[in-house]
Structure 1
Amino acid sequence: MNTMVTAAIDERPVLPAVPFHREAGSGPGVVCIHCNASSSSQWRPLMDRLAPRHRVLAPDTHGAGRGPAWPTDRPLTLHDEVALLEPVFERAGAPFALVGHSYGAAVALLAALKQPERVHALVLYEPTLFALVDAASPAPNAADGIRETVARAAAALAAGHRAAAAEAFIDYWMGVGAWAAKPESQRSAIEAAIVNVQGWGGALLGETTPLAAFRALDMPVLLMQGSETTTSARAVSNLLARTLPRGETQTFRGVGHMGPITHPAVVDTAIADFLRRHPAPPGGPVIARTMRSLCSN
């Protein structure tokens, strides 16, 4: 497959940063948002899989790949990520499907909530919206593991040890020894990204959108998780599974939080099957939802 790499141009002065994104295929739009310490490149296998039937766009978020740097004058929020990706959403056309992994899945949730009428299907692999856990049960709670990991990584950064910060973060998500097993080519990219670890934690733990708000997402949602994931990620998924009105869950045995990267064949198959079962409505999202409403009355 020939993958076209492009950057959408946003002429509005409020968003000077132009999001870099990869693009492939033709057909109904699918936008894929990557996890922390990763980039749009993680979606290459899925792009290959979907390109014959879909126009697939995979952007880089702040501080990732060729995305814009994080702001230094204020904390970055998940809503800033949604705003950054707006030109990519526009390029995907409406209605489009939205796919997200981890941090990217948290961004996808808020993007869908902002304009639900243009997202016809939502695919989430372990969205890390840890603020939902804190809101449901004040600390100490299931989010303590990621809170402590962010604190350890931040302390290592403050001491000038990027590798130690990256090791704390990667080993938390992938298991002890995962960092040591990574090739040097991957380590350098992760070390460059890990400087934003406190920002990631702040955005995910500080988000104020209440869990009940996601009941408004009246579109098919595939909520995926690995059986070997962390307690913090599982807690978020469990809360969303009980809240999303049209959600279906799928658990991959023997797979962890990084499933879309470590086990792309099995995860991408599930995504492709879900999108095949829930295609973009030919009449547009408003007409489709009106028809659902009429049929339910």
Structure 2
Amino acid sequence: MPIPAPYVREAGTGPGVVCIHSNAASSAQWRGLMDLLCGTHRVLAPDSYSAGKSPDWHSAREIALRDEVELIAPVLALPGSPVALVAHSYGAAVALIAALANPGRVRALAVYEPTLFSLVDAQGPPPNGADGIRNAVAAACAALDAGDRDAAAGHFIDFWMGAGSWSATPPQRKPAIAESVANVRRWAHALMTEPTPAEAFAALDIPILYMLGGASPESAHAVARALLPVLPNVRVVEFPGLGHMAPITHPDLINAEIAKFLGEI
């Protein structure tokens, strides 16, 4: 079956930057960064499968991260020269696999808490550092099976943003988020069954900015502990007091760090 074309936001001219959003979001996540960079870079932000204006996943087969990579592969080629990838959460996991699959097309990575939970499980079976997200996914899936999308979104959002975050979400934003979180089983499968071992990422001998939130869940930090030791050219920046969703809740801080990194490579 032919691979469909993703929807892509675009702004600016100059060296190429491709931004990949988190799950339960869309390319709109990166509008602030695009505004910041468009004077010096050509910035492209695709929507992943079933997000924003991109098509739904088209197969009965469970999605894998490589499928997300294949969707955005044409976008990586658009600038005509190697690009920097900027990505968050699920998108950062996609970006890491994309960089391995396209070594000639990616010149740098700026990632905020990639959620490659398979690396945690590879270090040792549960109980382990991925138990928190595993439990949140199980609760969300149980709610979906019971027909309660609102409760499913609550389990997912409260895990990543803290208890009570879903209740505090503006009512007008909830339907779109709840619809997106209906894909939580699919996301979890892709992230927890990704076969790429940690050692493979040692091949990414390119500048990498790896950002962490000091207040993020243990599941995100467990991935960092598995991944950071093998990256040969990585700069780690931790934001005290910020959580996993900082690129959305505190975009100015995160975008400034990304812009600084891109200006130095």
Question: Could you tell me which amino acid in structure 2 is paired with residue 137 of structure 1?
Answer: G
Counterpart mapping for 1:6-25 below 5 A? 14-15=2-3, 17-25=4-12
Counterpart-to-counterpart distance in 1, 2:131 and 2:58:
27
Question: Could you tell me which amino acid in structure 2 is paired with residue 172 of structure 1?
Answer: F
- 8 Å CA contact 2:77, 2:105 repeated in 1: no
- 8 Å CA contact 1:23, 1:57 repeated in 2: yes
Q: Deviations over 1:33-76 (max 9, x none)?
A: 00010000000000001100000001100111112112351100
- 8 Å CA contact 2:213, 2:246 repeated in 1: yes
Task: Establish whether residue 259 from structure 1 lines up as the match of residue 224 from structure 2.
Answer: no
Counterpart-to-counterpart distance in 2, 1:81 and 1:92:
19
Q: Deviations over 1:7-41 (max 9, x none)?
A: xxxxxx731x1100110011000000000100000
Task: Establish whether residue 102 from structure 1 lines up as the match of residue 89 from structure 2.
Answer: yes
Counterpart-to-counterpart distance in 2, 1:195 and 1:71:
16
5+ residue gaps, structure 2: none
Question: What is the aligned counterpart of 2:170 among 169, 183, 189?
Answer: 183
Question: Could you tell me which amino acid in structure 2 is paired with residue 171 of structure 1?
Answer: D
Counterpart mapping for 1:1-297 below 5 A? 14-15=2-3, 17-278=4-265
Q: Paired residue for 1:8?
A: none
Counterpart-to-counterpart distance in 2, 1:35 and 1:145:
18
The TM-score, its normalising length taken from structure 1, stands at 0.88
Between Structure 1 and Structure 2, how many residues are aligned? Answer: 265
Q: Deviations over 1:189-224 (max 9, x none)?
A: 111111110000000000000000000001000000
Question: Could you tell me which amino acid in structure 2 is paired with residue 48 of structure 1?
Answer: D
Q: CA deviation at 1:106?
A: 0.1
The TM-score, its normalising length taken from structure 2, stands at 0.98
Counterpart-to-counterpart distance in 1, 2:232 and 2:173:
39
Q: CA deviation at 1:243?
A: 1.0
Q: Deviations over 1:230-260 (max 9, x none)?
A: 1000111122211100011000111100011
5+ residue gaps, structure 1: 1-12, 279-297
Counterpart-to-counterpart distance in 2, 1:192 and 1:184:
13
Larger radius of gyration: 1
Counterpart-to-counterpart distance in 1, 2:179 and 2:148:
12
Counterpart-to-counterpart distance in 2, 1:242 and 1:75:
30
Question: Could you tell me which amino acid in structure 1 is paired with residue 40 of structure 2?
Answer: R
- Structure 1 residue matching 2:236: 3-state secondary structure: strand
Counterpart-to-counterpart distance in 2, 1:93 and 1:44:
22
- 8 Å CA contact 1:228, 1:255 repeated in 2: yes
Q: Cα RMSD between the aligned structures?
A: 0.9
Counterpart-to-counterpart distance in 1, 2:81 and 2:124:
37
Question: Could you tell me which amino acid in structure 1 is paired with residue 112 of structure 2?
Answer: Y
- 8 Å CA contact 2:76, 2:105 repeated in 1: no
